[in-house]
Amino acid sequence: QRGHRVAVLGAAGGIGQPMSLLLKQSSSVSQLALYDIVGTPGVAADLSHIETQSTVQGYQGDEELDECLKDCDVVAIPAGVPRKPGMTRDDLFNTNASIVRNLVQACARSCPEAMICIITNPVNSTVPIASEVLEKAGCYDPRRVFGVSTLDVVRANKFVADAKGLDVSTVTVPVVGGHSGVTILPLLSQTTPSVSFTTEELDALTDRIQNAGTEVVNAKAGAGSATLSMAYAGARFVLSLLKAMSGSPDVVECTFVKSDVTDAPYFATPWRLGKNGLEQNLGLGSLSDYEKSKLEGEVLPALNKDIHKGSDFV
């Protein structure tokens, strides 16, 4: 069986570099194709010395983009500008929306069947943009377009484990909704192993998970937003997808995708992944009253706005 060719677009950036390193360490990747507008020859040369099987090739600038994407099975997109203090993810909208549109147009030309994993924020809007672009190009398969919201799950697992003194390797918290502020809805009532929370704990944990990105933006004091934890989450998602594409049966990740579980046309829930990408939506499960009221009152109104902003852009 041929291994997988994986492209990282924005590979020289704060997320792109550590994510490429994590992918280089995995035996599931046979070719790593690194693209950026600047800096990729250096990053590729550096990573290519690591003693793992995969080949690494750097591509730089518009004229090398299509060659980078050719024969790719999975494309991860962290290209864009990061958030600075005082900026919301939506302030990034105009710049990042155009970057994602251009890169996905190139995917439609050069690897129309690839799985496309969008990391560039605001994900609530960039996933609709990617989907509209592919639709217009006549190659949209909703099973193959993912918003990488994995960092919300990673953070929820860690914060709950810390708050309750649990071994984090055993903790799983499904996180649904969107990937920004109040649109992020951790389903703490469905934490495994089963834990109970007071209302104060629910409020504090929900708030921390929703605003964890801002915690990092403020701590970095002008130097950008989460990169290392996002790279970890991005690599976790891509490697899960590759595992599922290779035939592993029980791969589940929460991801922000085209969805019909609520009235928001894109929505994150846990999904079983398979050879063709999204395979089975595991849905919302049974929500607590606390979660129901957040979903209706806060998540859906804000998320629908973000989604329309993206769809209207294309």
Catalytic residue annotation: 179
Question: Could you tell me the sign of the dihedral formed by the alpha carbons of 111, 117, 120, 123, in that order?
Answer: positive
* Closer CB to ligand APR, 80 or 177, in the complex: 80
CB of 294 to ligand APR, least distance (A): 24
CB of 80 to ligand APR, least distance (A): 3
The residue type at 99:
I
CB of 199 to ligand APR, least distance (A): 31
Q: Which residues bind ligand APR (CB under 6 A)?
A: 9-10, 12-16, 36-38, 78-83, 92, 96, 99, 103, 119-121, 224-225, 227, 230
* Closer CB to ligand APR, 190 or 227, in the complex: 227
CB of 266 to ligand APR, least distance (A): 17
* Closer CB to ligand APR, 70 or 275, in the complex: 70
* Closer CB to ligand APR, 176 or 230, in the complex: 230
